[in-house]
C-alpha cells in the first residue's frame, strides 16, 4: 500500500465520519477527498514580494503532497494585518471549510509596538472560535524585535506559549526559526522571507504539521479498526449497554 493511498483512505474516513470535524466538509467528501489547511496570517505567509506559487501556503501544500498527503493549503495571509484584523477575517475563511488552521499572527502588532495584551486577546478569540466549531487550531510563535526593549519582548513573546498551554493547542515556538535576521533568506527589507527562506520555513515546519494531520487522521482510524476487530458478542454487548 503506497503512502498516498493510505493517506487518501484515512482522509476519506476522517471526512465522512467527522465526529468533531466540520460537517459541511463531510457532506462534500465524495466530491473531493482532500484535507484542508488554512494558514491564517499576515505578509509573512501571504507571499509579500514573491509570487503566490512561492509563498508559504503553496510550498507547504507541495511538501505535503510529495509525502503522499492529499492536502489543500489555503492562503489566508494578508499584508499588514494585526492579530485583530486576522480574527476579523476568520469568518470569511471558515466558509472554505478548513479542517485545521495554522495561526501565524502578531508580527505586525510587535513591529508597531502595540500592547501585547491586544495580540493575546485577538489570538485567543481565533482559538476559541475555531474550537467552538471543532476545527483544530495550531499556533505558530512570533518573537518581538529586540529593539523594542527586553521588557516588551519578554511580555510579547510569552503570549504564545501561554495561549497554547491554556487552550491545549499544538505549538511551534518560533515560525521564523532558521531564517530570522539572515539576509540570504529574506528580501532586502530583512523582514519578509524570499523564496529560499520560504523553503527553509517549510522544511522546518512541515514535519511538525504533518504529524498533527497524521494524528488527527489516526484518531479517527484507530477506533474504527478497534470496533471492526471486536468479536460479534462483544459488539452486541456494547450496543445493548
pLDDT digits (tens, 9 = 90+) for 178-222: 999 999 999 999 999 999 999 999 999 999 999 999 999 888 665
Residue 23: CB atoms within 10 Å: 12
Asked if pLDDT for residue 232 goes beyond 70, the answer is: no
The C-alpha angle 79, 84, 89, rounded to 5 degrees, equals: 65
pLDDT at residue 229, as a whole number: 47
25 carries an active-site annotation: no
More confident of the two residues 73 and 233: 73
188 catalytically annotated: no
Listed in order, strand segments (DSSP E) in the chain are 35-41, 71-77, 100-104, 136-140, 171-172
> Quick one: which of 64, 17, 69 has its CA closest to 223?
17
Give the phi and the psi of residue 149 in degrees, each rounded to 5. Answer: 100, 150
- The CA distance from 61 to 11, in Å, is 15
Location of C-alpha cell 519578554: 154
pLDDT interval class at 32 (50, 70, 90) = low
51 counts as catalytic: no
pLDDT band at 10 (very low <50, low <70, confident <90, very high): low
Q: Tens digits of per-residue pLDDT, 99-154?
A: 999 999 999 999 999 999 999 999 999 999 999 999 999 999 999 999 999 999 99
pLDDT at 30: 41
Does residue 239 surpass a pLDDT of 80? no
Listed by start position, the domains of the chain span 3-240
Annotation: CATH topology of 3-240: Rossmann fold (3.40.50)
d(CA 186, CA 222) in angstroms, rounded, equals 43
The confidence score (pLDDT) of residue 132 equals 98
Separation between Cα atoms, residue 10 and residue 21, nearest integer Å = 14
Maximum separation of any 2 CA atoms in the chain, in Å = 69
Span of 41-45, 48-52, 53-57, 65-69 with lowest mean pLDDT: 65-69
Average pLDDT, integer, range 224-236? 48
Q: Which of 46, 144, 157, 192 is catalytic?
A: 192
- Other CB atoms within a 10 A radius of the CB of residue 105 amount to 28
Phi, psi of 67 (to 5 degrees): -95, 15
From the list 76, 70, 36, 71, the residue with the least C-alpha distance to 56 is: 76
- The catalytic position among 132, 189, 233, 240 is 189
pTM of the model: 0.84
Catalytic residue among 43, 46, 144, 206: 43
- What percentage of the chain has pLDDT greater than the value 90? 75
Look over the chain and give the mean of its residue pLDDT values, rounded to a whole number.
87
Amino acid at each position: 500500500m503506497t503512502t498516498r493511498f493510505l493517506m487518501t483512505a484515512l482522509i476519506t474516513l476522517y471526512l465522512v465520519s467527522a465526529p468533531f470535524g466540520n460537517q459541511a466538509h463531510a457532506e462534500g467528501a465524495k466530491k473531493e477527498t482532500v484535507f484542508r489547511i488554512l494558514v491564517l496570517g499576515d505578509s509573512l505567509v501571504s507571499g509579500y514580494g514573491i509570487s503566490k506559487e512561492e509563498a508559504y501556503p503553496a510550498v507547504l501544500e507541495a511538501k505535503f503532497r510529495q509525502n503522499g498527503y492529499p492536502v489543500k493549503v489555503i492562503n489566508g495571509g494578508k499584508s499588514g494585518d494585526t492579530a485583530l484584523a486576522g480574527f476579523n477575517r476568520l469568518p470569511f475563511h471558515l466558509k472554505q471549510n478548513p479542517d485545521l488552521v495554522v495561526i501565524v499572527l502578531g508580527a505586525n502588532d510587535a513591529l508597531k509596538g502595540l500592547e501585547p495584551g491586544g495580540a493575546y486577546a485577538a489570538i485567543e478569540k481565533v482559538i476559541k472560535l475555531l474550537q467552538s466549531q471543532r476545527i483544530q487550531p495550531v499556533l505558530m510563535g512570533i518573537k518581538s524585535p529586540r529593539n523594542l526593549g527586553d521588557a516588551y519582548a519578554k511580555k510579547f513573546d510569552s503570549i504564545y506559549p501561554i495561549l497554547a498551554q491554556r487552550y491545549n493547542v499544538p505549538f511551534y515556538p518560533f515560525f521564523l526559526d532558521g531564517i530570522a535576521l539572515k539576509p540570504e533568506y529574506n528580501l532586502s527589507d530583512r523582514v519578509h522571507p524570499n523564496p529560499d527562506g520560504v523553503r527553509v520555513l517549510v522544511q522546518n515546519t512541515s514535519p511538525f504539521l504533518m504529524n498533527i494531520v497524521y494524528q488527527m487522521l489516526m484518531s479517527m482510524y484507530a477506533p474504527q479498526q478497534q470496533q471492526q476487530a471486536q468479536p460479534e458478542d462483544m459488539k452486541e454487548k456494547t450496543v445493548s449497554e
